[in-house]
Structure 1
Amino acid sequence: MYLKHLLRVMLFWLFAMNTTFADAIFDPDTNTIILSHVLAGDGSSQTESIYATNVRITFDEVISAGISWPPLIHPLPWPAEIDFFDTRNQELTISYITTPDRSIERKDVVIKIDSVLGFDYSESIAAGVSDFKFRYVLDESLPVEWRNDFEQIMANLQRDIPIFAKPGWYSMPVFAWKSDAEAPLPFISGACICGGGEGGSYDWMSLEISAWEIENSDIHRYSVVPHEYFHVYQISHADLSGLKWLMEGPAATLESIYVQEHYGVDYFSQAQAPLLSGLVRESPSLYESFSASGEADDNYSGSVFLTLILAEELQNQGFSEAEAYRKIMKDFFWAGPNLNNWESTFAEVFSLSVDSFYSKIANYNLSYEGLLPSEDLTISTIFANH
C-alpha cells in the first residue's frame, strides 16, 4: 500500500515539474504512461509525421509485452529512446519502458492507446521530409568546430537524402568522440553502424574520430559522417549486410562527392585512388566479400573503383551523370534488394547482369582517371525526385 502511494506521489510530482524523462515511465496503478519522445507516422514519405515530447497517455490493450530488458544493457549515456506510433494500424511501439522504481523494465512493448492526456511540445514534419530521428551524444573531447560541422553535415544530409521512419526503424543514437579519449560505452568503438553484443538488439552509429585527423585537419574527420549516414539510408531500404562493394562502394563514393561539394577537397584522388589493387580488375567478384577482398580494398578503394565504373557504364547507356549516380545510390536501394535477389535486382535496375558488368572491369585501366564525377555534381542533384 505504501509503495502504491509513493508511486502516485512520484508520478504527480513528475507531471507537475514537466520533467523530460530518460525513457517511457509506466504507473501500474493509474494505467498511465509518460512517453519522453514520440514519433507518429505511417511509414511512408507520402504523409506528414508528428513528433512530440512528454506525451501522457492511458492504454487499454497490450498487443505485445515485449521482452525483459535489464538496465545494464541500456546504460548511461545512452540517450532517451524515441517511441513510434504507427498511424496505419493505430499501434504504439515503446522502445524501452520502466516504472519509477525500476521494478519493470521491458523493450519493444506494443499497445493500443486509450486516450492522450496531454503533451509538452509537438511539431509536424511535412510529407517527403526526413523524419528518422538521430539522437546525438557528442563527447566534449571533440572540438567545438567539429561538433558544429557535424550538426551542419547531418542537417545537409537529412535535407538532401531523407530517411523515412517506419515501424521497427525510426531512430538511432549517434556516439562521437575523439580517439584519444575514453569511449562513451565499453562496447562502442570505431566508425560503423553497429548493434547487438553488449548493446543488446539496439542499433547505433559509432564515430570514433581520429585524434591525428583532428590535429592535422584531415578531411576524413568529416567525410566519415556522410559515409555512415548513407549506410543508415541503405539499411532503410535494403538487406545487403556483408555484400561489400555494393554497400561500401556507394557509401565511400558519396562521402567523396560530399566533401568535394562542401569542402572543395578531392578525397577520391587524395585517399582512395592511391590504394587501388590490381585484384579488383582480376577478380572483381571477390569484392562482394569483406574477407575475400581484405587489405586489397584498403579505404574501399576497389569498391569505389567498381562504383565509378558502374556509373560510367550507365552513362554509356545514355543516362546523364546525375541519373547514373541516382540509379546506383537511390534507385537500386529503393528496389529493396536482399542477399537472395540482389543479382536480379541489379540486372533490372541497371539493365546489365552482374556477370556482364564484371566482365567489363578488365577493360578499364587501374586508375580513377577519366572516371571521377564532375566537380559540379551535387548530392541534392543525385537524390532529386524525378
Structure 2
Amino acid sequence: MAAFDAIRPYSDAEVAAVLQRLLADPAFQDILARYRFPRLAKPLGWLLRPILAFYLRRELAGVDTVAALQSKIEPYVDRSIVRGTDGVTFSGTEHLRPGEPHLLIANHRDIVMDPAYVNYAMYHAGLATPRIAIGDNLLQKPFVSDLMRLNKSFTVHRSLSGRREKLAAFQLLSAYINHSIRSDGESVWIAQAEGRAKDGDDRTDSAILKMFHMSRKDEPFAEVIRSLRLTPVSISYEYDPCDLAKARELQIRASTGSYDKAPGEDDLSIAQGITGYKGRVHVHFGAAIEQGFEDARQLAALLDQQIIGGYRLFPVHYLAYAQWQARDTTLAVPEAASLFSASELRNAEQYWQQRMAACPAEQRPYLILQYARPIQNQYRIRAGLPL
C-alpha cells in the first residue's frame, strides 16, 4: 500500500490521529460553527468553536476505524442528505452481490452529493460503501482533505499540467483502482467524466475507461473490465440546486467561448449542492457489464445506454422538454399530463415557473436544456437510435 500513500484513503490505524488533528483545526471548527449555528457563528464564533470541538471529541471518543466512524456519523449524514429532498429512493441493489467489490461508474451532476447518495443507498441496503474518487481541485484545504480521506475517498490528480506527470498520475490511479478491487476487496465509485454534466448530457469519457486498463496493459481490455465488475449507476435529481449557476456558466461559455471560475466558486457549489432543495432523488444500480464490447469506445457507448436508460425522469423534465426549441420532434415523447397525476404536475409547474422567473432571460435556454436533455437522450435509446 505504500506505493499509493499519495492518493489512498486513510487506514484504520490512522483514524484516531487524523480525528484529533481535524478537531483541532480552526478552519474546520469555523465550518462546524457556521453549519450548526449560522446566525451566531460570526458574533460568537470564538465561543462556539471550542464548545463544538469538545462535544465532538466526546462523541468520537474510542472511534479508531473507518467503519466505526461511518456508523457513528451515519444518523447525522442521513439527516443532512435527506433534509433537502422530498425522499431518496434506490433500485437495482440486487445487482450488487454482498462480499463482491464493484467498480461503480456514475453520471455526475453534483460535486459532493453524487457519491453521498450512492453511499446512502448502499449503506441502507446492507452493503459496504465504496471508496470514492475525488479531484484534487476540491482538496485545497487540509481539513477538507482529511474529511474526505477519512470517508474512504482517494485523490485523482487533475491539476497537473505536464504530459509526463499526467501519464504517471493516470498509471498510479489505474493501479490503485485495480488494487482496491482485486486485492483489498473494496468497491470504487468514479464519475463517468471529469466535471459535472452541466447541460444534462450524461456521456462517458472513453479516456477514463482506458485508464482502468493502463496498469494491466498485458491483458486484453475486455478481460480487465470484466474482472473489475464495471457497474453503471444512474443518479437522478428532480431539481438541481445549482441549475441557475450552471445556466449562467453555459450562457457565458456560449457567448464568450470560455468561462473562468471565481475564487471560492467550487466551495459555493458544494454548499449549495448539499443544502439546496432537490425534490425527489433516485439512485439506480445496473447490472455489471460483462460483454458487448471490445474496446473503450464500444464500452463507453454501452455505459451511456445503461446510465441514461436508468435515469428517472420527473415531471419537470417533460415540462422543460416541451419548451426546448432544439427538441427532436420525431421522437414519440408523451405529454406530461399523460404520465403524472394532476396534483404532481401542478406542483412541478409551480416550481418550474419559479426557477424560470429567477433566471435571467438570456440564460433561460440553458436552464431548459439541463432538464430537457435527459428526456431526448432516454427516448432516443428507447427508440433504438444513436445518442
TM-score normalised over the length of structure 1: 0.26
Q: Kindly indicate which of the two structures has a greater share of residues assigned to helix.
A: 2
Q: Which has the higher contact order (CA 8 A, sep 6+)?
A: 2
Q: Kindly indicate which of the two structures has a greater share of residues assigned to strand.
A: 1
